Structure formats: C-alpha cells, structure tokens
C-alpha cells in the first residue's frame, strides 16, 4: 500500500467524506472542503463550508464527521471540553449539528453529547454516533441522531440551548 500526502496544515481533521467531487473534512474549528483541481494528487482548493461553532482553547474540543443524511445535509458532532475553567464556555460544544453543504448554514440538532468520537450514516441516510463513557455517560453507547431537540444525557451543552431556539 502506498500513501501520499493530499493536504497539509489542517487542524486535527477527524473525518473525511467524498461528496460531489470534493473531499470534506471536519477540522477542529470548521467543516472544510478540498479539491485537487490541477491533477497533481494534492489538494489546492480549500474552502470553509461552516465555522459557526466556537473554540475556547481546550485541547479536547474535537469535531467529528462529516456524514450525509438522506436529505444531503452534513452532520458533525462537537466534543465537549474537559478540565477546569477558563476553558469550555464555547458555544455548541456537546452538540450534534447539521450543515447545508451548499450554503454552509448550520442547524443545531441535539445536545447532551460527551465525547462523540464516531459519527456514521446508514445506507438509508439515518445518522448515528458513538459516545465515550465518563461523567454523565456511564457506558459507551451508540445513539440515533434524528429529531431536532433531542437530549442525550450530558449537561455541558445545555447553556447553549437558548441560542438554538425551539424546540430546545
């Protein structure tokens, strides 16, 4: 197996998805799409699709995904920070959000996620995530991400719920 460097300078990319000729990646602070437009095997176009979530500086503020749902929207899951203040008061941490890949519009969908290190879509376009056990999450689990307003058990993301509007 031979490997080749396709892109450099990414900030902790934790997921890849090929969609309509672009490669999408979930970086720490944004959803990015990349393309090799000159055919040399390396990405030369990098476009920010969405960066509507914040980062406080905590090491654990990962972003996982993206995955497509049946309507063609991209889902990412945002890890909550760990450790003490002043870190961790960034909006949308502990949330699952979906993003329109054309407009970049972000829609908060569910909160209560702890360390949602795996996100995947089924052949039917249903989206699921795995969460790592720890405080407020006594066992690792596989959960469905579906209805807007779902709460998955961890309280960290609740202060941001007022920004999400109904039905939170």
pLDDT of 110 above 90: yes
- Helix boundaries (H) for 41-168: 161-164
Query: Does residue 83 lie in a domain region?
Result: yes
Query: Does residue 34 lie in a domain region?
Result: no
Show the tokens assigned to 6.
Answer: 């396709």
H helix or E strand, kind and range, residue 5: none
Cβ contacts of residue 42 below 8 Å, gap of 6+? 4, 5, 6, 7, 36
Query: Does residue 48 lie in a domain region?
Result: no
pLDDT of 58 above 70: yes
Cα–Cα distance between 120 and 69 in angstroms, integer?
9
Query: Does residue 14 lie in a domain region?
Result: no
Query: Does residue 18 lie in a domain region?
Result: no
The domain of 150 spans: 55-164
pLDDT of 108 above 90: yes
pLDDT of 19 above 80: yes
Report how many domains make up the chain.
1
Query: Does residue 63 lie in a domain region?
Result: yes
Query: Does residue 116 lie in a domain region?
Result: yes
pTM for the full model? Answer: 0.92
Closest CA to 54 of 81, 29, 83, 86: 29
**Can you give the length of the chain in residues?**
168
| pLDDT value of position 121 | 96
Query: Does residue 19 lie in a domain region?
Result: no
pLDDT-above-90 percentage for the chain: 75
Cβ contacts of residue 114 below 8 Å, gap of 6+? 79, 80, 94, 131, 132, 134, 135, 136, 137, 153, 154, 156
SS3 at position 8:
coil
Confidence of residue 166 (pLDDT cuts 50, 70, 90): confident
């Amino acid at each position: 197996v031979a490997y080749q460097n396709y892109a450099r300078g990414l900030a902790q990319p934790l997921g890849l998805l090929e969609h309509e000729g672009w490669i999408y990646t979930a970086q720490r602070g944004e959803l990015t799409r990349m393309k090799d437009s000159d055919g040399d095997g390396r990405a030369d176009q990098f476009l920010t699709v969405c960066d509507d979530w914040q980062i406080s500086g905590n090491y654990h503020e990962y972003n996982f995904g993206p995955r497509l749902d049946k309507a063609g929207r991209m889902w990412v899951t945002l890890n909550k920070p760990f450790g003490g203040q002043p870190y961790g008061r960034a909006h949308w941490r502990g949330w699952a959000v979906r993003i329109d890949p054309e407009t970049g519009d972000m829609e908060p969908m569910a909160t209560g996620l702890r360390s949602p290190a795996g996100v995947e879509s089924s052949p039917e376009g249903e989206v699921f995530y795995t969460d790592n056990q720890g405080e407020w999450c006594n066992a690792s689990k596989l959960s469905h991400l579906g209805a807007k307003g779902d709460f998955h058990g961890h309280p960290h993301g609740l202060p941001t719920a007022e920004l999400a509007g109904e039905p939170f």
